[in-house]
Chains A and B, each alone.
Chain A
């Protein structure tokens, strides 16, 4: 079955079994590294991406539900040469140890600040509750998201 998606702003037609979770479509068919496999069970958030601006666990979302939807992965937030505000903030705060959980954290945070540009520290913390980090980078992740929110609001605050 062929499904047409918009991935990071680009039309993509994917021809694969309809029950394939989006995670494997992104990684295997589209060669994108951002969404990570962590559990495949909806327990860790490592696979979080945006579907029409909402955070979605790509490991649990089959391709057949996604016809015509717009998907954003961490690759869609910027590049090494031109990092977006969320990426910039994580680099500035050095908010990674192994970094494996980080793209999922960034995508969930991105969804939050798109929805609520004034999200406070408690809202940030609550939003990230679904995502696990084993390295104990939590404090830096919280600081990075707050910084990204401020960067997005125009560099200040």
Chain B
């Protein structure tokens, strides 16, 4: 898009904001701690409950052109394509007839964050119902014109067709007010056997552009007169700027200006590499005072256990029956990074006293609020538009980069400012997935049934998203020094640190407590799955230990403790497709199984895998993975497979390789050599995903279902291969080797 049309858009924004049928409430994900609104109880399907007007979602013009609006953002998860499919389905048009408009405070409904695997249940459900109701209204219009019974009419390819073959196009039927009506609770959805788009693996609409060098990402935006900014971040979390002499930097070729605002320091140049050179020079010129604010990373679990805490009861159900055997263990998860391949980036333009920010944020409206507070700009003067970035998997540096760009752009009116974070800035400053400790004590009775389940977890909140300006680095570092929000313990249905901490398995008693830790020495926020990753890892490891105590096959043991038929079905599907058996495997090779229903109410996912452990190096190589997933009615089966394969491999990476290193002053894992992740040599020979389609069932979302089960399956395969129960993530070579040597030593002493 050229600068001219961008400006055109911007000018139009005001009118759009005003005419837009605004949301009744702020859409929420149940992921936000603190003073954020609670989850709404929808009386209307999906996000229609928050934005009930049909024309918030669908607009049809007199020329027949159709626009579909979603407040959700494409994050590489394929949501734009999936929502397009449901809209085309119910509107009875070809997908190519629809233009999709995603997350833009100037145009789309406020759907909070694109997070928590909520886009399909909320946004796609809203669009599907809105589209079906729009179709009914159009048919009703035609019925009126023809004086025919609407039941005798049908819609096809953008027109309504009468029994005699006469047609009226949508464009001819629509009026400016036709769709400006509130949705009804019931929609005339197409019957499952009539579906033509839903259930098809339509190719993603964004991929052709991405593989041919199209302008696909915010990083690719080039506006007329655009300048390049780089931020000089403090050298550590607690650092404060003492002095900086900018004279040398100001004189460098192409430098447009230096911005200093409290501890916020940035430089702007005409060309990108000049901005980088100026940033380096500016970093050298800046003097900071630093302080030790971080705990001893070698004793992190102990540190977390002794932090001041507030206890939240997640479950307190039933009474235990006497146990014949019990299993007790503590599991740990380190801080882990989102580690987007493309560091965060944003473009901002301050023009005519109005700000526009293009960002790969997961929440354009929350960002608008936070940046607005920071710059004292109301929503009428600040528009946040989503543009894709590199995959984020949660709250990475996106919002911070957007705030950086806005703060800088305000100093350079009329000039679009592009801020690109450097690799070490992304690694050093992104909010990390919080470290966690869990403690389980569970038992089986004499018949091999689970007799009791007691579980505690120690964790920070898993969401410090904006909201407030203090959630943004620029807000914190600027002279106004906005303070981060005090995190608050909240027990919700979706869960946060406690997500999936209550096992789905049948037990006469379940006692689950979240020891909520307020102190956040390292910056943390939402990472794919939140607490579910560590909780499911702990639960699934324990299930295998209980199965061993019960002398029962681990898959059979799980099935014995599942009542939900869909849960049983994914477990059986994964086991059968894998060829699960008790046949002996080659030496040092093991099988592992893992299962969870995400949030205990979303997608079901089961994973079986085979792994080989090299006893000399300690290297764990996952050889093949077979999984089954049920995320309700499958809109785009290949999209679900793609997301699940991705979740499996990312979780494999977390589980085998990843822990953010830090010393007492700073995060020291600041690039791919100090924070290694999965490379191709560690990729299994095959990863299979079997989608169980449930026509007529609600969309459940798929993006985060595999993270926990994969960690459990790997741990269980290592146990099967070596007899070692590893409880501390990640299972790095060093850890595995040390555990193997220790076990061998113990054996020697015992035998000697």
Contact = CB atoms under 8 A, between A and B. Distances in A.
A115 B210 CA distance: 25
B211 A83 contact: yes
Residue of B212, B215, B342 with most chain A CB atoms under a 10 A cut-off:
B212
Interface in B203-240: 203-204, 206-217, 219-220, 222, 228
Contacts of A128: 680
B647 A136 contact: yes
A145 B679 CA distance: 16
Contacts of A27: 272
Contacts, number: 180
A74 B209 CA distance: 11
Interface stretch (B126-134, B378-386, B648-656, B731-739): B648-656
B645 A134 contact: no
Contact of A135 (B76, B389, B652): B76
Contacts of A33: 213-217, 220
Nearest to A121: B685
A136 B680 contact: no
A133 B77 contact: no
Contacts of A41: 423, 671-673
Nearest to A88: B211
Given A44-B672, A96-B76, A96-B204, A31 B642 contact: no
Contact of A98 (B215, B388, B681): B388
Residue of A21, A33, A132, A134 with most chain B CB atoms under a 10 A cut-off:
A134
Nearest to A31: B222
Interface in B646-690: 646-650, 652-653, 671-673, 677-681, 683-684, 686-687
B671 A134 contact: no
A87 B391 contact: no
Interface in A76-117: 77-80, 83, 87, 90-91, 94, 96-103, 106
Contacts of B638: 94
A129 interface: yes
A43 B647 contact: no
A132 B216 CA distance: 19
Interface string B1-44: 00000000000000000000000000000000000000000000
A43 B671 contact: yes
Nearest to A89: B211
Interface string A3-35: 000000000000011001100100111011110
A94 B75 contact: no
Given A24-B273, A44-B672, A38 B423 contact: yes
B390 interface: yes
Nearest to A98: B76
Contact of B673 (A37, A43, A74, A98): A43
A50 interface: no
B649 A91 contact: no
A87 B642 CA distance: 18
Given A125-B683, A132-B677, A136-B645, A74 B204 contact: no
B390 A94 contact: no
Contacts of B276: 40
Interface of A: 16-17, 20-21, 24, 27-29, 31-34, 36-41, 43-44, 46, 73-75, 77-80, 83, 87, 90-91, 94, 96-103, 106, 125-126, 128-129, 131-140, 142
Considering the complex of A and B, which 10 residue pairs feature the smallest CB-CB distances, nearest first?
A98-B76, A136-B649, A98-B391, A99-B210, A136-B646, A100-B390, A34-B213, A75-B213, A43-B672, A39-B423
Given A74-B211, A134-B391, A136-B648, 5 more contacts: A17-B253, A91-B211, A103-B210, A134-B339, A136-B678
